[in-house]
Amino acid sequence: MSAADHPWKLIGALVVTAVGSGFLLALVFNWTAPAIEAHRQEAMRRAVLNVVDQAETFEAVVWVEGAWEVVPLDYNGGTRLCYRGLDSTQTVVGYAFAAQGPGFMDTIKLIYGFNPSSRTVTGMEVLDSRETPGLGDKIAKDHAFLQSFKKLSIDPRIIAAAKPSSANEVDAISGATISSEAVVSIVNQDLQWVRDRFEEPHP
Amino acid sequence: MTQQKSFQTELIKGLWRENPVFVAVLGLCPALAVTNSLANGLAMGLATLAVLVGSSCLVSGLRHFIPKPVRISVFILIIATFVTAVDYVLAATLPDIHKELGAFISLIVVNCLILGRQESFASKNPMWLSIADAAGMGGGFTLALVMIGGVREVLGSGSILGFPLFSDDFVPWVVMVMPPGGFFTMGLLLLIMAFVTENRRRKT
């Protein structure tokens, strides 16, 4: 080992590079974070209006002590943030819930609309996924699959089927069965929480 | 081959004669995976170009200070930094393209083209030559991705940059935007490249 390759020099070189990288990334992160957050909120806004049938505007709500309470859109108070769609006469037309769960590759984040009076899912949009490109990532764009989430009955539970025949069945994507089923199971899981909120209180 | 290295020759070699995709056959994973449309190919190419130029510039500038035994680790750290920066900038400026490219942006870190240029060029040559080399190689990579993406989009979606090219009775070859289409297009372009090169060699 030559003098130039003394271990301290090697460690020093790595530490200096790592610290420099960290510093640079902190700068870039600070600089881009506001724009990324704005894009995220805009995507969320479009998603809510897309999954809640007939919604013109929406408001953010949280479930507090047995009732929905309107909160500011940038609410960050620990209670689960949900969205409520309103039509042009300010009547509530449905709710939207963001949910996430394990997919084939990584966590799938999605949002779905729910109409409590007809007990149906009114739409679903994938917000973020890392599913296999060309196969699993179709859950975000496959027309038939997304279409089958409109007017989808939640009773007794949602099922992914190759050839949907009843009101609670989703058109599973061929070649992306696991990802399709993952989406369905995320929605089913989340509906357990949602159901309780809209169940008539037992006497 | 001991010809004098000049800015121009280093810049131009990557575009055609030593094209990273068609001649060196490097960086095939992104070249096949994200080129289902011209815009995606272009965005991926430009992101790689930015990372390559940034890393080559820094590696070349620091080449006398990087101890040999840890050089690869330092290169990877530098490359990963630029990739993450490009990831953030892309998410902030072009969210749709960023969503489309997804995980492949982070995977630029392991594109052997980039590490290869650091090891074989930037760590041995002055900064301005390294920038020329990186710009040329990145440009050649972008050119290749645009060509593959263009062919696949025209055949697979019947459009170019999202604008429809044919009348409504054109049935898109869906296979071309799926993974096999990447291999078909790649093979086709390699064949054309080999044909042109062979023809040229015979004439001289």
For B6-19, the pLDDT digits (tens) are: 878 887 887 877 88
pLDDT value for A202: 52
| Within-domain flag for A17 | yes
Q: How far apart are CA B34 and CA B48, in angstroms?
A: 12
- Tell me if A151 sits within 8 A of A122, measured CB to CB: yes
DSSP string, B19-71: -TTTTS---HHHHHHSTTSHHHHHHHHHHHHHHHHHHHHHHHHTTTTS-GGGH
Where in the sequence is the domain holding A162, given as residue range(s)?
3-198
Residue B182 backbone phi and psi in degrees, to 5: -60, -45
Model confidence at B91: pLDDT above 80: yes
Distances (CA, A) of A144 to A118, A126, A166: 22, 14, 15
To the nearest 10 degrees (0 to 180), the angle between helices B71-93 and B38-61 is: 140
| Within-domain flag for A203 | no
- Look at A137 and B102 and tell me if their CB atoms are within 8 Å: yes
Instruction: Residue A43: list chain B partners with CB under 8 A.
Output: 95
- Look at B78 and A17 and tell me if their CB atoms are within 8 Å: yes
pLDDT value for A200: 64
Q: Is A25 touching B (CB cutoff 8 A)?
A: yes
pLDDT value for A19: 94
Count of CB pairs separated by less than 8 Å, A with B? 62
pLDDT value for B40: 85
Q: How far apart are CA A199 and CA B193, in angstroms?
A: 67
User: What does the pLDDT profile of chain A (203 residues) look like in tens digits?
Assistant: 455 578 888 898 899 999 999 999 999 999 999 998 898 888 888 899 999 988 888 888 898 888 888 888 777 777 888 999 988 888 889 999 999 999 988 899 999 999 988 889 999 999 888 777 667 878 888 888 998 898 888 888 888 888 888 888 888 888 788 999 999 999 999 999 888 888 765 54
DSSP strand pairing (A107-115 vs A92-102): antiparallel
Q: How far apart are CA B107 and CA B97, in angstroms?
A: 15
- Look at B85 and A134 and tell me if their CB atoms are within 8 Å: no
pLDDT value for A30: 93
What tokens appear for B19 in the block?
């094209």
Instruction: Residue B70: list chain A partners with CB under 8 A.
Output: 10, 13-14
ipTM comes to 0.72
pLDDT value for A201: 56
What Rg, from alpha-carbon coordinates, does chain B have? Answer: 18
pLDDT value for A133: 64
Distance from CA of B101 to the nearest CA of A (A): 9
- Look at B92 and A130 and tell me if their CB atoms are within 8 Å: no
- Tell me if B35 sits within 8 A of B44, measured CB to CB: yes
Instruction: Residue B93: list chain A partners with CB under 8 A.
Output: 35
- Tell me if A159 sits within 8 A of A168, measured CB to CB: yes
- Tell me if A81 sits within 8 A of A41, measured CB to CB: no
pLDDT tens string B166-182: 777 777 777 787 778 88
Q: How far apart are CA B190 and CA B202, in angstroms?
A: 18
pLDDT value for A3: 55
pLDDT tens string B124-161: 888 888 998 899 999 999 999 999 998 888 888 777 77
- Look at B65 and A13 and tell me if their CB atoms are within 8 Å: yes
Instruction: Residue B77: list chain A partners with CB under 8 A.
Output: 14, 17-18, 21
| Within-domain flag for A75 | yes
Model confidence at B69: pLDDT above 90: no
Q: How far apart are CA A54 and CA A29, in angstroms?
A: 38
* Minimal Cβ distance to A14: which of B74, B85, B95: B74
Cα B141 → chain centroid: 3
Instruction: Residue A39: list chain B partners with CB under 8 A.
Output: 91-92, 95
pLDDT value for A22: 93
| Within-domain flag for A54 | yes
pLDDT value for A2: 54
Q: How far apart are CA B192 and CA B157, in angstroms?
A: 23
pLDDT tens string B27-67: 888 888 888 888 888 988 999 999 999 999 999 988 888 88
Distance from CA of A124 to the nearest CA of B (A): 17
Confidence of residue B1 (pLDDT cuts 50, 70, 90): very low
Instruction: Residue B177: list chain A partners with CB under 8 A.
Output: 134
What tokens appear for A43 in the block?
């995507």
Say which residue the tokens 């994938």 belong to: A126
| Within-domain flag for A57 | yes
Q: How many domains does chain A contain in total?
A: 1
pLDDT tens string A93-121: 999 999 999 998 889 999 999 998 888 99
Q: How many CB atoms lie within 10 A of CB A68?
A: 15
- Look at B93 and A35 and tell me if their CB atoms are within 8 Å: yes
Model confidence at B162: pLDDT above 80: no
Amino acid at A32: T
Q: How far apart are CA B73 and CA B190, in angstroms?
A: 33
- Tell me if A173 sits within 8 A of A39, measured CB to CB: no
pLDDT value for B2: 45
Q: Residue A43 burial (CB < 10 Å; 0-12/13-18/19+)? A: middle
Angle at B182 between CA B180 and CA B185, to 5 degrees: 110
pLDDT value for A134: 64
Q: In which region does residue B163 sit, left (phi positive, over 0), alpha (psi from -120 to 50) or beta (all else)?
A: beta
pLDDT value for B4: 62
pLDDT value for A198: 82
| Within-domain flag for A66 | yes
Distance from CA of A89 to the nearest CA of B (A): 33
pLDDT tens string B187-198: 998 898 888 888
